[in-house]
Amino acid sequence: MVVEVEGFYGVYMLYCTNPKYKGRIYIGFTVNPERRIQQHNGGKHKGGAWKTSGRGPWDMVLIVHGFPNDIAALRFEWAWQHPHVSRRLTHVPRKTKKQSSFDFHLMVLYHMLRVAPWNRLPLTLRWLRQEYHRELPPLLQPPLHMPLAFGQVRARPIAKKGKGQGEEKTEQQPFPQRCRVCYEMVQSEDDALHCFHPSCSLTTHIICLAKLFLLNQPQQLIPVEGLCPSCGNSVLWGDLIRHKKGCYGDLEEVSNSQAHWVDELHS
Ligand SMILES: [Zn+2]
Ligand SMILES: [Zn+2]
């Protein structure tokens, strides 16, 4: 079964099954995992990275997804590739001789999911290929809000709202609307947050809901989750933000030149 995800930003790990290079690992970023693995296995002329071309076939073993945007995912990718350079991962032990590259990068990933800023994102750790699956070490469990998932995932193009096409769009109330938290007016869609539960009509200021969700953890800046003040369902902050961005997002793959640019930014 393939799960479809809108506004997809993922960071994945490839495992080389070519006997000549067996066990090599590659970490990359994608907005479309299905297309990306084809590119890697198609070589450079198909858009694969030079490090992977001619060394395939590669298996896409797992992917971490749920990043709010491409920059957040690219930063995650960079830190996973350079754990000993990232100042957030100074506690991660170095690779031992008897440790495989696969086990080492898996351990780095488990550490990453537990530290800021990544431990506050609504991430999913997804094993794409069952045969590679390892149990998480008890001492390196990810935060409770991060699900462990299995099976393929597909990036679904974000449906553009409005623009003529029929009566598809849900009836939008005109602004200003009253904020459900502070009861002041929300002046425009830019400042508004809505709940994604179908029957819920929640409208709040973004900042009001953030403050509400952070009431019992005032030392934090970004909420992780909370109860919707209208429908009472538990909602992840990252999902609310992605829902808000849904109509503006676009699913173009970041080109290699841009990936390099982010690399340079961090080095
Ligand atoms: Zn408000
Ligand atoms: Zn709601």
pLDDT of 157 reads 67
Among the bound ligands, the one closest to the CA of 230 = 2
Among the bound ligands, the one closest to the CA of 211 = 1
- How many whole angstroms from 138 Cα to the centroid of ligand 2? 34
Paired residues of 149 in beta bridges: 126
Q: Are 65 and 155 in contact (CB under 8 A)?
A: no
Among the bound ligands, the one closest to the CA of 207 = 1
Q: Which two tokens stand for residue 251?
A: 């699913």
Report the C-alpha dihedral over residues 150, 118, 210, 215, rounded to 10 degrees: 100
Q: DSSP 3-state helix, strand, coil percentages of the chain (rounded to 5)?
A: 30, 20, 50
Residue boundaries of the structural domains of the chain: 3-157+251-266, 177-245
- How many whole angstroms from 67 Cα to the centroid of ligand 1? 26
The mean of the pLDDT values for the chain is 82
Among the bound ligands, the one closest to the CA of 205 = 1
Residue-wise pLDDT tens digits, 131-163: 999 988 889 999 988 889 998 888 876 655 444
Please check the confidence at residue 261 and state whether its pLDDT lies above 70.
no
pLDDT of 29 reads 93
Q: Which two tokens stand for residue 43?
A: 């070589």
Please check the confidence at residue 126 and state whether its pLDDT lies above 60.
yes
pLDDT (mean) for 217-223: 80
Q: Which two tokens stand for residue 103?
A: 């086990």
Q: Which CATH number fits domain 177-245: 3.20.20.60, 3.30.40.10, 3.10.20.90, 3.10.50.40?
A: 3.30.40.10
Q: What does the angle CA 176 – CA 201 – CA 219 come to, to the nearest 5 degrees? A: 85
Strand pairing category for 10-16 and 25-30: antiparallel
Residue type, 225: E
Residues whose CB is under 5 A from ligand 1 (ion)?
Answer: 179, 181-182, 205, 208
| SS (HEC) of 116-166 | CCHHHCCCEEEECCHHHCCCCCHHHCCCCCCCEEECCEEEECCCCCCCCCC
CA distance 50 to 45: 10
H or E segment to which residue 227 belongs: strand 225-227
Across 51-55, 97-101, 245-249, which has the greatest mean pLDDT? 97-101
CA distance 116 to 220: 11
Strand pairing category for 225-227 and 234-236: antiparallel
Q: Are 240 and 193 in contact (CB under 8 A)?
A: yes
- How many whole angstroms from 163 Cα to the centroid of ligand 1? 29
Residue-wise pLDDT tens digits, 81-119: 999 988 899 999 999 999 999 999 999 999 999 998 899
- How many whole angstroms from 192 Cα to the centroid of ligand 2? 14
Residue-wise pLDDT tens digits, 170-216: 556 788 899 999 989 998 888 899 988 878 889 999 999 999 998 87
pLDDT of 248 reads 29
Q: What does the angle CA 217 – CA 219 – CA 225 come to, to the nearest 5 degrees? A: 40
Q: What is the pTM of this model?
A: 0.65
- How many whole angstroms from 230 Cα to the centroid of ligand 1? 13
